[in-house]
Structure 1
């Protein structure tokens, strides 16, 4: 089974909540830290349906990452020292690099673009033209830790797009793409290139570290069965304490 076939089965059979439950079991939390279980908080679907819904399809695919900065900030050293891999050489729009990570490793075909924008900005970093280009390059979804615009045009592309909010203002007012295919942090969750992003239109978005994908795929069916048994027992009159003790121990 190919990686994408495994991910399609994951999306078909499980929810983002199932993934977070498994990550709680498998991830090591630093001492004094808070377990985030891969949850990329405060993201909402804006295309093809606005808001949480059970109409749009669930999608799981590897991440390609893009980090934006203030338009007056200098790019990170990594981008200037290795522009062909991590930067944006002149003469090519940032979105045109969307397929490069997949081209370098065919197992990453069908990527989800994860875009990080500074929290204090009010412009959009993705709009209708960018979404159309992403779709043409084979991107399966865009997850924007920031703002998007041209929502009608986003719908026309049928590209799943998640974001924290919207704007009427174009990117050039405040922002610029500064570095790509590097680890980024979204609400305290690190997303590295190649990590698995699972977009669940009803429950939310989670990031799965690539090295934990196998253990998660092994663990989740067992955890789901235990929860199904506990739920059935509660419906039949058992207390939650008893059900957890009986089926989750």
Structure 2
């Protein structure tokens, strides 16, 4: 299922913490992209939702990872030109931390193309310039060397293993202060519905806790508490 405006709006109101719990209940434990944390100011204190546009790096090989490769048909530059508006670029950099996959110029082009964000398990370079582009970036950190110092770019919109998570093109990414979560595209509607309900339930539980309710029987709910919650929801409906 594509990410409809209604689904996008619903997921924009849901935390990644809630999504990991909902996905766990639906049998998916491995959905949080390790190492991808808010790096730029545009990523802090915000939440982005979009379909994954995947990029894949493999270990550096000297005959392929050269400055001349930046002009190849298969290059990060060409991949950026294929990114649709609103997509979230998900770059599998194998967790490499001593070669920055993108810098300020590439991020500027992504921002101009209205790419929603970049999520990677690797690192960035030219951080001050990247900040200036306004592109929200979730990454492991920064490093001065270029990508070819440690990685070879090999393609886009292929299945990747970003931060130990299998991500396919078109999967839905939600990223916020707690990191980035991948939702399989065929599960988006069910996950969004369950997550919205989970957020509503936890907001009620939080209010009960503020009033002094003890946690046993409240979180998780016992039958009596669940009945009170159901009555509250019915009253609002």
- Please give the TM-score of this superposition, normalised by the length of structure 1: 0.77
Deviation (angstroms), 1:221: 2.2
Partner of 1:79: none
Aligned counterpart for 2:103 among listed residues 107, 123, 127: 127
Alignment of 1:218 with 2:193, yes or no, is: yes
Distance of 2:170 and 2:189 partners within structure 1: 14
Aligned counterpart for 1:39 among listed residues 21, 32, 51: 32
Larger Rg: 2
Distance of 1:192 and 1:92 partners within structure 2: 19
Distance of 2:105 and 2:178 partners within structure 1: 28
Deviation (angstroms), 1:122: 0.9
Q: 1:117 to 1:71 in 2, by over 3 A?
A: same
Distance of 2:74 and 2:58 partners within structure 1: 18
3-state DSSP of counterpart to 1:123: coil
Partner of 2:25: 25
Deviation (angstroms), 1:59: 0.9
Distance of 1:46 and 1:121 partners within structure 2: 14
3-state DSSP of counterpart to 1:239: coil
Q: Provide, for residues 103-144 of structure 1, a one-character-per-residue CA deviation record: whole Å limited to 9, x for no partner.
A: xxxxxx411111111335511111111101212333111112
Distance of 2:131 and 2:90 partners within structure 1: 18
Distance of 2:96 and 2:193 partners within structure 1: 40
Partner of 1:32: none
Partner of 1:161: 137
Mean alpha-carbon deviation: is it higher for 111-120 or for 189-198?
111-120
Aligned counterpart for 2:56 among listed residues 64, 67, 89: 67
The alignment yields a C-alpha RMSD, in angstroms, of 2.6
Partner of 1:111: 87
Q: Which runs of 5+ in 1 are unaligned?
A: 30-34, 76-87, 103-108
Mean alpha-carbon deviation: is it higher for 188-197 or for 12-21?
12-21
Distance of 2:22 and 2:32 partners within structure 1: 12
Partner of 1:100: 82
Aligned residues: 218
Partner of 2:213: 238
Q: 1:185 to 1:242 in 2, by over 3 A?
A: same
Q: 1:171 to 1:179 in 2, by over 3 A?
A: same
Structure 1 outlier segments of 4+, above 4 Å: none
Deviation (angstroms), 1:92: 6.2
Q: 1:216 to 1:144 in 2, by over 3 A?
A: same
